[in-house]
Amino acid sequence: MSTLRVHRVKGKEVIKVYRLIPYGELLEVLREDGMAFLEDGARELKRGTVWRAARRLSEMLGKRVRVERAALRFEDGSYIEGWNFVREE
């Protein structure tokens, strides 16, 4: 069983989870290319968080944005896992 820990917040900066998703960059790439890949960092994003991000991007763009779990493969054969956002026309 995990041990729950309490931390003092006074004098520190609390970063809310929604700030981890770079909406500005995603919007720019979706507008130009119609598809953007968001790499999962060391901390894997939850499906609900990514779904809400797609819904928010849809509202910002005025077009539906679909999201799917994917891997991005490079020319050397290596790949990274993450989420693929696709703007639907």
For residue 77, the enclosing domain spans 36-87
Check if the beta carbon of residue 67 is closer than 8 Å to that of residue 85: yes
| Separation in Å, CA 26 to CA 6, 10, 68, 70, 74 | 34, 32, 15, 16, 20
Between 48 and 44, the higher pLDDT residue: 48
Asked whether residue 75 is domain-assigned, the answer is yes
- On whether residue 57 sits in a domain, the answer given is yes
Domain presence at residue 26: no
Residue 6 lies in a domain: no
Domain total in the chain: 1
The reply to whether 50 falls in a domain is yes
User: What is the pTM for the complete model shown?
Assistant: 0.76
Kindly tell me if the per-residue pLDDT of 1 is higher than 70: no
**What pLDDT score was predicted for residue 40?**
83
Averaged pLDDT for residues 25-37: 93
